[in-house]
Amino acid sequence: MRKTSKNLREIIANGGMARVMAAHDPLSAMLVEEAGFDGIWASGFEISAAMGLADISLVSMTEHLTNMRNMAARTSLPIVADIDTGYGNAINVLYTVEQFEAAGAAAVVIEDKMFPKVTSLIDGGRQDLLPIAEFQGKIEAALSVRKDPEFLIIARTEALIAGRGEREALERARAYQAAGADMILIHSKQKTPDEIESFIKAWDGKAKIVIVPTAYPQMTEARARSLEKIGILIYGNHAVRAAVTGMQKVFAQIITDGGIQNVNADIVPVSEIFRLQKMDEVKQNEKRFLR
């Protein structure tokens, strides 16, 4: 596993809660690092959206892997790779996990939906779950190919998303921990944190919990820490939403103004892009090496 500037296992083991922000390409990953987050969420939703596609298993494993590898090349933060269902059954998971670890991920999140999946937060979406035993096999497959013991296998249950209730969510979480999962990601699309807080308070396992409070923004970091069982908090899609917000606003103003004369003052100068591209380093290398 690639050496990173932060170690997720250490943060969690020391009683901390890692703050992880979504990214969809190397540039957004670099901005996540500059902002001061503890890790990068290589988000399947964001990568799909950046390609103009629905998050319904249309982006291939190879496409996601290449994007994540490029993020790893441009940042030093640990990357939590969102590998959806593992791109197939347990046999597919063997190859997928092996490749993502080799590409520089610090963790993978595998969810217990059937392949192909449908994005979790869409109203009325199909949310079919695998039998518990079958998903345990996927977790065991992932563990069997892990090379570095620091690499995290995070099992994500969509029981609450699928409307199965807390009892089944807890049953699945316990079974996934028994299969060897390092952490449990519990997801909800309720508009308040009540459902998630109830699950966390009822959770009697040793594995730390991962949450993604996209639908329930009242779950602040302070509130999450007070529950004392959360090891990672993921901001799941805010990079691509921020990018879309900014582009829509700027593009509309250019159309309205008939030019860039007004909007130019509201966006970063080209020099900021040069900084992110490390053009100073390029110029130094040109002086040093070009003959």
Please classify residue 27 by burial: count the beta carbons closer than 10 Å to its beta carbon, then call 0-12 exposed, 13-18 middle and 19+ buried. middle
The verdict on residue 208 lying in a domain is yes
pTM: 0.96
User: Could you give the number of structural domains in the chain?
Assistant: 2
* 66, 128: one domain: yes
**Residue 242 tokens, joined:** 């921020």
Residue 104 maps to which CATH number? Answer: 3.20.20.60
> How far, CA to CA in Å, does 169 sit from each of 152, 179, 282?
21, 15, 52
Domain that residue 28 falls in: 8-238
280 is catalytic: no
* 128, 35: one domain: yes
| From 38, 55, 82, 182, active-site residue | 55
* 148, 176: one domain: yes
Separation between Cα atoms, residue 254 and residue 263, nearest integer Å: 7
pLDDT along the chain (291 residues), means of 10: 92 96 98 98 97 96 97 98 97 98 98 93 87 98 97 98 97 98 97 98 98 98 98 98 98 98 96 98 98 96
* 165, 204: one domain: yes
* pLDDT tens profile 48-81: 999 999 999 999 999 999 999 999 999 999 999 9
